[in-house]
C-alpha cells in the first residue's frame, strides 16, 4: 500500500485516494486540432521509472494532487498541489 | 499410559493437566502446550492424512507452518474449517479434528488406487487429460476430480464468529520472536521508540524453546516492562506491501473451543512501520529420494523440536539423512532424550558432525544416501547405499527417518518488499540482499545461524534501526555449522517428492522441462509445484534445483518464483472483518424512507440507495396492477415520487456560468435567473457522460442535478477540471445531494394540487411557466420549486432541506387527496420515461453519443467544452451507428424482453438491441426503447425482436421513441 503525504491532510494510505492518471499531459487549448485532443486523451508514455500522476484525495480533502511515483518500486518522492510543478528525479 | 511417546520431563507442556480431544472420532488426551500434531505423536498416531492427488498415506512432517501433510478439518458444524495445519493447532479440551482427503476411511482409502494409475496423473495432467472431449468435463471429470482431489470441506454455513480489523503504526516492526527477533526488540525497545513484535507461534522464543530458557524468560520480562513495546504472539505477518505496510493475522481465540462473548475470533492487522526488521528465521528443507513421503519421515529440526518443546518422541528408533552438521546436533537431542538410534546417513565423505556422532557411539554411513523406504502406512526402515555405487544396499530398521537438506531462510516477506534476494553459497539458498525500503534482516534469515550468533545479529539490527545500544547479554545454545554440501536429490528410480503436499515428484519437474515448461514460473504452474497451502517452504528450492539440473544450469541461475502474499492461509472472515451483510457497503436512505415504509412500499436497491419500487394496494392482483395504477394516476390526474436520490451540486462563484459552459454541451451563461435548463455532459472522448437539469438561482449561483448513479463521478469530474485544467476560474463546488430532499408532483392536476400548499409563489402558467424556478414555503418550510418534467406531464419538483421532507411531502399528499393522488415508485417512473422517450442509464451507457440518442441539437456550435473536439470524429458521427428508436409489439399483448436483439425478419444478424421495455398506459400493450443501426431510416418498418436465451421472437414496429405527446405540449399547459 502506497502512502501519500497530502500537502493538505498529512500522511495517508493509498486507500483514501483515487488514481486519476498521467499528470504530464495538458488539455489542449480551445482551438487546438482534433489530433491534439486525441493525444491528450489516449497517448501515454508508460515510463519505467519516475512518473508524475494525479491522485485525488477522494476520502480526504477532495484535492487533486501531483504525485511523483516510481513505477517500478512504487516509491513516492514528492506530493505537490495541483498548481505546482514538482521536481522529477532523473534516475 | 495413554501417551506412550511422551517423555517423562521437559518441554513447554503441563503434564499435570489432561486435555481430551478426538481425531477422526477417536478419543485421545494431550496436555496444555501441545499442538494437535504433538499430541497425536505422543499418542503414537503416525498416519494423519492422504495426499492430494495420489492419496498416498501421509504423516506429520514438520513442527510448524511449513507442514505439507498434516492438514485437518478443525471443529464441526458451522465452525468447521478445512486445511488447518495440525502443527499449528493449539490443543484445547474438547477439540474435534478430522483427517482429510480419504474415502471411506484413513486406513482404507479406495482412491489410493490413484497410485496405481500414477503415470496418468503426471505433470500437467489436468491440462492434458481433462480437456477433451468438452462435454465430458461437466458430467464426468469435474465431479470425479472434486471427490478425489479436493482438500478439506468448508462448513457451507454462515460463519458464527466475528472478526476485527486493526490499524497500527510503529517506528520499528520486528517480524519473528526467535533469538534474533527478541534481541532486536530488546535493543529497539530500550531506545524508547514504538516497537511491535509479531510472532506467528503461540509462545515467543522459537529455537530458544528448550534451550536457553533463562535468557528467554529474562528478555520477555524486560520487554513486558517496556510500555513502548507491543508483543503480538499468535500473529502471522502474511504480506509485506509498499511503504513498509504489512498485513498480519492475529489468532485471538483459535486455541479455544469457541470464542467467549464479545471476543473476536481473529484480528486482521494493517501495520504501518517506519522500519522493519525481518527475523523470520528459516525453514528446513528435505531431500528428494524415493518414497520420502512415508509416514515417519520428518524434518530433523522438527523431530528435535518435538523433544525440546513438547517432550514427545516422534519415534522409537530414529535415523538421520543429512548433509549438514546442524542437523546432526538436532539428532543428538533425540539420542539424549532416550530415543533409539539406528544411525546417520551422510552424503558427505567426512565432517565434524560425523566425528562427533561416532564419539557418541552412533553409526555413520558416510558418502552414502537413502535410496528408498520400507513400510506402508508407517515407516519400517530405510534402504542405505553408497553414493555412486550400483551395488547392494542395506535395509536399516527405523520408525523415524529425520531428514535435512539444509535450511531455506524465510525470505518471503523481504522479497515481497522488493528486496532482491542473493545466493548464499554456504547455505545453498537465497538470502535477502540490500533492501530498497528501510528494512533489516537478522538471524538465520540473514544466514547467521546458531542461537548466540543469531541473537547478536538481532541486537545489531535493532541498534541499526534505532540508534540504540547493541551491547546486550546473549543466549547460549546450538552452535553447529549450517554449511551444507549441495545435495538435492538421490538420483535413483522411484517417486522422489519435491512437493509433498501437491504430489509433485522430481520426475514431474523433468517432464515439465522436457515438454518446454523450462522457465521456473512455467514449471511451477505446469506441475503445481509450490502451489499448495505450504507454498513450498521446505521443498520449493529442491524442485528448482531439479529443474536447474534438467536445464544444465545452476540452481542460483534460474531464479525463484515470485513470492506473493499470503505466507500462511488467511480466513475470508478475517479479510471481510465487520464488512459483512448490510455492513458490506453503506446503505443510503432518503429523508422520506420512513414514510415509504409506513405506506407499505416494496423497495429496490439502486447502487447504495434503497428506493421505493412500487406501493402495492390490497386490491392489486399482481405487481403490474400496481405499476399501471400508479402510472395511470400520473397520466390522468396526479402522482408524487421521491426523487431525492438525484445528485445535486451547488455551483457558486463569479465564473460559475463560464465553468458550466465548458462542462456542458449547451450554454448556461445565457440562462436567466429563475429558470432551469436540461444539460448534457460529455466525456473528453466525445461519449455522453451524464445529463440533468441545471437552474440559475442568482447571477453567480447555479444548482446542478445529476443522475442518481453519477452523482459522485460528476462531482469528481467537475473538481478535476476546476482544480487542474481551469484553476484560474473563481468557482466553488459543494455536493448537496443529502442536504435536499426532492419530490416530483406530476400529472394534469399537479398545479391544482400544489397550489393549495405552496405559499409565496405565483404558480400560474403565465407567472411560472415550464422550466421556471422559484423559492416558496410549504407549511412554513422553505422550498424550491422547479417546473420540470421527466414523465412528460405537467410537473413540479419541490426540493426542501432534508429535515422538512416529510412535512412537505405529507402536505402535498393531503392537498392531492381530492385528485386521488398516488405515490409512485421506480417501476412506474421507468414506465413513464419509456413512454415519453426520455433516456436513462441503459441508454447513457458509456458508448452512446448525443446524436445516437437524438440529442444532437444540444451540441452548441461555438465555444469550447469537454468532449467537443473528439465528438466530431467520423466514427462517432457515422449515421449508421445505433440510434434511439421506439418499438412496439405488433400483436399488442405480446411481451417484449429488454436485451432482445433486433433482426430483419427471417435473418439472424443483430442490428441493434432493446434497452428497456414496459407495458404502456397511454397505449395498449408492450412498448420499448432500442438502439438500432440506421434507426432513423427504419422508422415505420417491422422487425423481429429475438431473445435466443428465452427462445422467443416477437414482431415489432419501429417507431419514434416519443410515444406520448411528441410535441411536448402537456408540460406547458
Ligand atoms: Zn488531502
In this structure, the answer to whether residues B13 and B128 fall within a common structural domain is yes
Mean pLDDT along residues B789-818: 97
In this structure, the answer to whether residues B69 and B197 fall within a common structural domain is no
Cβ distance B629 to B620 under 8 Å? yes
In this structure, the answer to whether residues B618 and B655 fall within a common structural domain is no
Residue of chain B whose alpha carbon sits nearest to that of A31: B864
CB < 8 Å from B in window 5-64 of A: 13-14, 18, 20, 23, 27-28, 30-34, 36-38, 40-41, 54, 56, 58, 62-64
CB contact under 8 A, A3 and B727: no
pLDDT of residue B152: 78
In this structure, the answer to whether residues B397 and B344 fall within a common structural domain is yes
Asked whether residue B832 is domain-assigned, the answer is: yes
Residue of chain B whose alpha carbon sits nearest to that of A77: B243
Selecting from A1, A32, A64 the residue whose C-beta is nearest the C-beta of B720 gives: A64
pTM: 0.90
Asked whether residue B479 is domain-assigned, the answer is: no
pLDDT of residue B138: 61
Between the CA of B576 and the centroid of ligand 1 the distance, in Å, is 27
Q: What is the pLDDT of residues B822-840, one digit of tens each?
A: 999 999 999 999 999 999 9
pLDDT of residue B110: 67
The alpha carbon of residue A45 and the mean position of all alpha carbons in its chain are separated, in whole angstroms, by 13
DSSP string, B711-779: HHHHHHHHHHIIIII-TTS--EEEE-TTTEEEEEEESTTHHHHHHTTEESS--STTTS-TTBEEEEEET
What does the H/E/C string look like for B33-94?
Answer: CCEHHHHHHHCCCCCCEECCCCCCEECCCCCCCCCCCCEEEECCHHHCEEEEECCCCECCCC
Asked whether residue B871 is domain-assigned, the answer is: no
| Position B480 confidence tier, pLDDT thresholds 50, 70, 90 | confident
Residue B565 pLDDT > 80: yes
Mutate which of A20, A27, A57 to test chain B, going by most B C-beta atoms within 10 A?
A27
Residue B671 pLDDT > 60: yes
In this structure, the answer to whether residues B627 and B684 fall within a common structural domain is no
Q: Give the cell for residue B251.
A: 489468532
In this structure, the answer to whether residues B343 and B357 fall within a common structural domain is yes
Asked whether residue B374 is domain-assigned, the answer is: yes
Which residues make Cβ contacts (< 8 Å) with residue B162, sequence separation at least 6? B259, B264, B265, B573, B578
The H or E element that residue B168 is part of is: strand B163-175
Q: What is the pLDDT of residues B727-751, one digit of tens each?
A: 999 999 999 999 999 999 999 999 9
Q: Give the cell for residue A7.
A: 500537502
3 state DSSP class of B152: coil
Between the CA of B825 and the centroid of ligand 1 the distance, in Å, is 39
pLDDT of residue B313: 98
Asked whether residue B599 is domain-assigned, the answer is: no
pLDDT of residue B389: 78
Which residues make Cβ contacts (< 8 Å) with residue B5, sequence separation at least 6? B41, B42, B43, B44, B312, B313, B314, B315, B316
Residue B131 pLDDT > 60: no
Q: Which residues of B touch A73 (CB under 8 A)?
A: 418, 436
Distance CA B768, CA B755 (A): 12
In this structure, the answer to whether residues B73 and B137 fall within a common structural domain is yes
Q: Which position has the grid cell 511503504?
A: B243
Selecting from A3, A30, A56 the residue whose C-beta is nearest the C-beta of B716 gives: A56
Domain end marker among B541, B566, B591: B566
The H or E element that residue A10 is part of is: strand A10-13
CATH of A1-24+46-86, picked from 3.55.50.30, 3.30.2270.10, 3.10.20.30, 3.40.50.720, is 3.30.2270.10
pLDDT of residue B533: 87
Mutate which of B166, B238, B240, B242 to test chain A, going by most A C-beta atoms within 10 A?
B242
Count of structural domains within chain B? 7
Cβ distance B882 to B933 under 8 Å? yes
pLDDT of residue B125: 59
DSSP string, B242-258: GGGEEEEEEESSTTSSS
Distance CA B20, CA B13 (A): 15
Which residues make Cβ contacts (< 8 Å) with residue B299, sequence separation at least 6? B61, B62, B63, B66, B284, B286, B402, B403, B404, B538
In this structure, the answer to whether residues B189 and B276 fall within a common structural domain is yes
In this structure, the answer to whether residues B67 and B182 fall within a common structural domain is no
Residue B134 pLDDT > 70: no
- In this structure, what are the phi and psi dihedrals at residue B42, rounded to the nearest 5 degrees? -60, -30
Q: What is the dihedral of CA B684, B688, B692, B694, to 10 degrees?
A: 30
- In this structure, what are the phi and psi dihedrals at residue B870, rounded to the nearest 5 degrees? -85, -15
In this structure, the answer to whether residues B136 and B65 fall within a common structural domain is yes
Mean pLDDT along residues B423-431: 97
| Position B231 confidence tier, pLDDT thresholds 50, 70, 90 | very high
User: Count of A–B CB contacts within 8 Å?
Assistant: 60
Residue of B907, B789, B918 lying closest to B842 (CA atoms): B918
Q: Which residues of B touch A30 (CB under 8 A)?
A: 863-864
| Position B127 confidence tier, pLDDT thresholds 50, 70, 90 | low
Selecting from B716, B727, B870 the residue whose C-beta is nearest the C-beta of A34 gives: B870
CB contact under 8 A, A20 and B720: yes
Residue B256 pLDDT > 80: yes
More confident residue, B350 or B268: B268
Mean pLDDT along residues B74-89: 94
Mean pLDDT along residues A81-91: 93
pLDDT of residue B879: 86
Q: CA of B739 to nearest chain A CA: how many angstroms apart?
A: 19
| Position B147 confidence tier, pLDDT thresholds 50, 70, 90 | low
Domain end marker among B405, B436, B452: B405
pLDDT of residue B168: 98
Asked whether residue B581 is domain-assigned, the answer is: no
In this structure, the answer to whether residues B31 and B110 fall within a common structural domain is yes
Residue B271 pLDDT > 80: yes
Looking at chain A, list the stretches that DSSP marks H as alpha helix, in order from N- to C-terminal side: 34-42
pLDDT of residue B132: 52
CB < 8 Å from B in window 62-91 of A: 62-64, 73-76, 82-83
* B67-81, B114-128, B408-422, B499-513: segment of lowest average pLDDT: B114-128
Q: Which residues of A touch B863 (CB under 8 A)?
A: 30
Q: Which residues of B touch A77 (CB under 8 A)?
A: none
Between the CA of A77 and the centroid of ligand 1 the distance, in Å, is 17
Q: Which residues of B touch A13 (CB under 8 A)?
A: 245, 272
Domain end marker among B108, B138, B156: B156
User: For all residues of chain A together, what is the average pLDDT?
Assistant: 95
Which residues of B have a CB under 8 Å from any CB of A? Answer: 241-243, 245, 270, 272, 418, 436, 684-685, 716, 719-720, 723-725, 727, 863-864, 869-870, 872-873
CB contact under 8 A, B724 and A82: yes
Mutate which of A19, A24, A57, A62 to test chain B, going by most B C-beta atoms within 10 A?
A62
More confident residue, B104 or B767: B767
pLDDT of residue B114: 63
Q: Could you list the residue range(s) of the whole structural domain that residue B446 is in?
A: 163-282+409-466
Q: CA of B719 to nearest chain A CA: how many angstroms apart?
A: 8
Which residues make Cβ contacts (< 8 Å) with residue B13, sequence separation at least 6? B30, B31, B32, B33, B34, B38, B310, B311
CATH of the domain at B964: 2.40.30.110
In this structure, the answer to whether residues B351 and B301 fall within a common structural domain is yes
Can you tell me the ipTM of this complex?
0.98
pLDDT of residue B119: 56
Q: CA of B723 to nearest chain A CA: how many angstroms apart?
A: 7
Asked whether residue B782 is domain-assigned, the answer is: yes
Cβ distance B296 to B266 under 8 Å? no
Beta strand segments in B740-881, E: 740-746, 758-759, 773-778, 781-786, 795-801, 822-823
CB contact under 8 A, B245 and A13: yes
CB contact under 8 A, A62 and B719: yes
Cβ distance B458 to B215 under 8 Å? no
Amino acid at each position: 500500500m502506497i502512502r501519500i503525504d497530502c500537502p493538505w491532510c498529512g500522511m495517508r494510505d493509498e486507500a483514501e485516494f483515487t488514481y486519476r492518471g498521467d499528470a504530464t499531459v495538458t488539455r489542449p487549448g480551445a482551438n487546438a486540432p482534433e489530433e491534439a485532443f486525441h493525444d491528450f486523451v489516449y497517448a501515454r508514455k508508460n515510463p519505467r521509472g519516475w512518473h508524475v500522476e494525479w491522485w485525488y484525495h477522494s476520502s480526504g480533502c477532495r484535492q487533486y494532487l501531483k504525485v511523483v511515483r516510481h513505477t517500478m518500486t512504487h516509491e513516492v518522492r514528492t506530493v505537490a498541489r495541483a498548481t505546482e510543478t514538482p521536481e522529477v528525479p532523473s534516475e | 499410559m495413554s501417551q506412550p511417546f511422551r517423555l517423562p520431563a521437559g518441554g513447554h507442556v503441563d503434564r499435570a493437566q489432561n486435555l481430551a480431544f478426538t481425531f477422526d472420532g477417536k478419543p485421545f488426551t494431550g496436555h496444555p502446550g501441545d499442538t494437535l500434531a504433538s499430541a497425536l505423536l505422543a499418542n503414537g498416531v503416525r498416519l494423519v492424512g492422504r495426499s492430494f492427488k495420489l492419496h498416498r498415506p501421509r504423516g506429520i512432517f514438520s513442527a510448524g507452518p511449513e507442514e505439507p501433510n498434516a492438514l485437518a478439518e478443525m471443529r464441526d458444524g458451522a465452525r468447521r474449517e478445512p486445511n488447518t495445519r495440525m502443527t499449528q493447532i493449539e490443543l484445547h479440551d474438547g477439540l474435534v479434528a478430522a483427517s482429510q482427503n480419504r474415502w471411506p476411511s484413513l486406513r482404507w482409502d479406495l482412491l489410493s488406487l490413484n497410485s496405481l494409475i500414477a503415470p496418468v496423473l503426471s505433470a500437467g495432467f489436468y491440462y492434458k487429460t481433462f480437456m477433451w472431449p468438452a462435454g465430458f468435463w461437466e458430467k464426468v471429470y469435474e465431479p470425479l476430480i472434486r471427490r478425489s482431489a479436493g482438500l478439506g470441506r468448508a462448513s457451507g454455513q454462515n460463519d458464527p464468529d466475528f472478526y476485527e480489523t486493526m490499524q497500527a503504526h510503529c517506528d520499528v516492526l520486528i517480524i519473528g520472536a526467535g533469538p534474533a527477533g527478541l534481541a532486536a526488540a530488546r535493543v529497539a525497545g530500550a531506545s524508547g521508540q514504538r516497537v511491535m513484535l509479531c510472532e506467528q507461534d503461540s509462545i515467543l522464543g522459537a529455537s530458544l524453546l528448550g534451550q536457553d530458557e533463562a535468557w528467554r524468560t529474562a528478555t520477555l520480562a524486560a520487554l513486558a516492562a517496556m510500555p513502548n513495546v507491543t508483543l503480538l504472539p499468535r500473529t502471522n505477518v502474511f504480506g509485506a506491501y509498499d511503504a513498509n505496510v504489512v498485513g498480519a493475522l492475529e489468532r485471538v481465540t483459535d486455541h479455544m473451543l469457541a470464542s467467549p462473548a464479545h471476543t473476536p475470533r481473529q484480528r486482521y492487522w494493517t501495520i504501518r512501520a517506519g522500519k522493519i526488521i525481518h527475523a523470520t528465521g528459516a525453514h528446513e528443507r528435505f531431500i528428494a529420494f524415493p518414497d520420502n513421503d512415508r509416514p515417519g519421515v520428518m524434518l530433523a529440526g522438527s523431530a528435535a523440536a518435538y523433544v525440546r518443546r513438547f517432550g514427545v518422541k516422534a519415534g522409537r528408533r530414529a535415523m538421520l539423512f543429512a548433509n549438514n552438521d546442524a542437523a546432526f546436533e538436532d539428532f543428538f537431542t533425540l539420542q539424549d532424550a532416550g530415543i533409539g538410534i539406528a544411525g546417520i546417513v551422510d552424503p558427505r565423505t567426512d565432517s565434524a558432525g560425523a566425528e562427533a556422532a561416532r564419539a557418541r557411539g552412533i553409526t555413520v554411513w558416510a558418502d552414502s544416501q537413502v535410496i528408498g523406504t520400507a513400510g506402508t502406512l508407517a515407516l519400517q526402515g530405510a534402504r542405505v547405499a553408497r553414493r555412486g555405487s550400483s551395488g547392494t544396499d542395506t535395509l536399516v530398521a527405523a520408525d523415524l527417518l529425520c531428514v535435512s537438506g539444509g535450511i531455506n531462510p524465510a525470505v518471503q516477506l523481504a522479497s515481497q518488499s522488493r528486496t532482491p534476494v542473493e545466493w548464499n553459497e554456504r547455505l545453498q539458498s537465497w538470502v535477502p540482499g540490500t533492501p530498497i525500503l528501510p528494512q533489516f534482516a537478522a538471524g538465520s534469515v540473514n544466514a547467521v545461524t546458531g542461537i548466540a550468533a543469531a541473537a547478536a545479529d538481532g541486537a545489531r539490527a535493532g541498534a541499526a534501526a534505532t540508534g540504540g545500544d547493541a551491547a546486550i547479554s546473549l543466549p547460549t545454545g546450538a552452535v553447529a555449522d549450517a554449511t551444507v554440501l549441495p545435495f538435492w536429490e538421490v538420483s535413483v528410480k522411484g517417486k522422489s517428492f519435491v512437493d509433498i503436499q501437491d504430489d509433485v515428484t522430481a520426475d514431474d519437474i523433468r517432464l515439465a522441462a522436457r515438454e518446454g515448461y523450462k522457465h521456473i514460473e512455467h514449471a511451477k504452474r505446469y506441475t503445481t509445484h509450490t502451489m499448495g497451502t505450504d507454498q513450498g517452504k521446505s521443498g520449493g528450492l529442491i524442485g528448482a534445483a531439479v529443474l536447474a539440473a534438467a536445464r544444465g544450469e545452476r540452481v542460483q541461475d534460474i531464479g525463484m518464483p515470485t513470492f506473493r502474499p499470503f505466507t500462511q492461509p488467511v480466513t475470508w472472515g478475517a479479510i471481510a472483518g465487520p464488512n459483512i451483510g448490510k455492513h458490506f457497503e453503506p446503505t443510503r436512505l432518503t429523508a422520506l424512507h420512513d414514510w415509504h415504509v409506513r405506506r407499505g412500499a416494496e423497495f429496490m436497491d439502486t447502487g447504495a440507495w434503497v428506493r421505493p419500487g412500487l406501493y402495492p394496494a390490497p386490491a392489486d392482483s399482481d405487481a403490474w396492477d400496481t405499476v399501471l395504477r400508479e402510472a395511470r394516476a400520473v397520466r390522468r390526474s396526479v402522482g408524487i415520487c421521491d426523487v431525492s436520490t438525484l445528485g445535486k451540486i451547488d455551483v457558486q462563484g463569479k465564473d460559475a456560468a463560464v465553468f458550466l459552459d465548458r462542462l456542458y454541451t449547451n450554454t448556461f451563461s445565457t440562462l436567466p435567473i429563475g429558470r432551469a435548463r436540461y444539460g448534457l455532459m460529455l466525456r473528453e472522448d466525445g461519449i455522453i457522460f451524464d445529463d440533468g437539469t441545471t437552474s440559475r438561482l442568482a447571477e453567480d449561483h447555479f444548482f446542478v442535478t445529476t443522475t442518481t448513479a453519477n452523482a459522485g463521478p460528476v462531482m469528481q469530474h467537475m473538481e478535476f477540471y476546476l482544480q487542474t485544467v481551469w484553476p484560474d476560474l473563481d468557482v466553488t463546488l459543494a455536493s448537496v445531494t443529502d442536504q435536499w430532499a426532492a419530490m416530483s408532483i406530476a400529472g394534469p392536476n399537479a398545479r391544482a394540487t400544489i397550489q393549495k400548499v405552496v405559499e409565496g409563489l405565483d404558480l400560474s402558467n403565465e407567472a411560472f411557466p415550464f422550466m421556471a424556478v422559484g423559492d416558496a414555503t410549504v407549511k412554513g418550510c422553505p422550498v424550491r420549486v422547479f417546473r420540470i418534467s421527466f414523465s412528460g406531464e405537467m410537473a413540479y419538483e419541490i426540493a426542501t432541506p432534508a429535515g422538512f421532507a416529510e412535512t412537505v411531502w405529507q402536505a402535498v399528499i393531503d392537498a392531492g387527496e381530492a385528485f386521488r393522488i398516488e405515490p409512485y415508485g421506480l417501476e412506474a417512473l421507468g414506465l413513464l420515461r419509456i413512454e415519453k422517450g426520455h433516456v436513462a442509464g441503459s441508454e447513457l451507457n458509456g458508448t452512446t453519443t448525443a446524436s445516437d440518442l437524438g440529442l444532437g441539437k444540444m451540441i452548441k456550435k461555438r465555444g469550447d467544452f469537454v468532449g467537443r473536439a473528439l465528438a466530431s470524429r467520423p466514427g462517432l458521427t457515422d449515421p449508421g451507428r445505433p440510434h434511439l428508436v421506439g418499438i412496439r409489439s405488433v400483436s399488442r399483448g405480446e411481451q417484449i424482453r429488454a436485451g432482445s436483439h433486433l433482426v430483419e425478419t427471417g435473418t439472424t444478424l443483430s442490428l441493434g438491441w432493446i434497452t428497456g421495455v414496459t407495458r404502456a398506459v397511454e397505449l395498449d400493450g408492450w412498448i420499448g426503447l432500442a438502439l438500432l443501426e440506421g434507426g432513423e431510416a427504419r422508422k415505420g418498418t417491422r422487425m423481429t425482436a429475438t431473445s435466443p436465451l428465452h427462445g422467443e421472437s416477437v414482431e415489432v414496429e419501429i417507431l419514434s421513441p416519443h410515444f406520448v405527446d411528441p410535441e411536448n405540449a402537456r408540460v406547458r399547459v
